[in-house]
Amino acid sequence: MKKTVISTLIATITLSSLSFAQAAAPTLDVGEVQFASFEERRFERRAIEAGTWIIPQVLYETMATETIDKFGGDRNNTVYFYERPVTWHVQMMTGNNNTPYVHTYHSIEDGPIVIEVPAATEDNALFGSLLDSWHKPLIDVGPGGADGGKGGKYLLVQPGYEGDTEGYIVVEQETFQGYTTFRSMTKTTSEENMIKHVDYVTNGLKIYLLVQKTQQPHSKRWTVLFLMLTFNGNLISIQRFGSVHIVRCKKKSSRKTKKPCMAHYVTSV
């Protein structure tokens, strides 16, 4: 009898508690909760998608501005290159350690850009592409590219360009900003072949505005600004040799330490 009374009392208290809890709880429309959750999630997802979508543009601008700020030069007239294959010091995510890299940055907002690629030789060739600021390849260069290893003048223009294109390999670019990324192909990575690589790049690869070529005499010499920098950018001296300005690496030569040395030269017609 006692057990029955206690069980009945517990059941009564439990039911009363549940009834009170149900009465105190606010009435929620399940449809409203699901709708609010969907809207919030859609907003968050679109924010993430927008951030992901713009990453390539942010990466391009970071590459260009950081290179120019640290090593000098400018878009449309400067070639940046390593005098030897890259190592971990460069912290390049996808860098190959068997060829030096060569880069240029350009903008066609103020007019077409010309990039002169040298012909391949027995010892040297360029392998790579011209890209827009979305990192979309526009055309390949070198033996496996549009010039077939014979070298050529690539003319970067906006879509619908109607100017004179005779003698050029025309490349339409939908974005104002773009860049090139080349690997300088050599037989080996020996000191002798690295010297040949530097000569091949500095004497053959050029970038300039088309208007410079049409407004100034063809016979004018290319002026060259040639910087030899260590990875941390320390400098020791500046020497002038005719039209060539050389800024040498501080302390030990980069060739002795085998650390990649970013260099660049500014070209003008």
- pLDDT, tens only, 122-142: 999 999 999 999 999 999 999
The Cα–Cα gap between 126 and 171 comes to 18
The Cα–Cα gap between 21 and 260 comes to 72
- Is the pTM higher than 0.75? The answer reads no
Residue 221's pLDDT is 29
Of all residues in the chain, the percent with pLDDT exceeding 70 is 65
Which band of pLDDT confidence, cut at 50, 70 and 90, is reported for residue 95? confident
Higher-confidence residue of 140 and 251: namely: 140
**Which pLDDT tens digit goes with each residue over 169-204?**
999 999 999 999 999 999 999 999 999 999 999 999
The Cα–Cα gap between 184 and 101 comes to 6
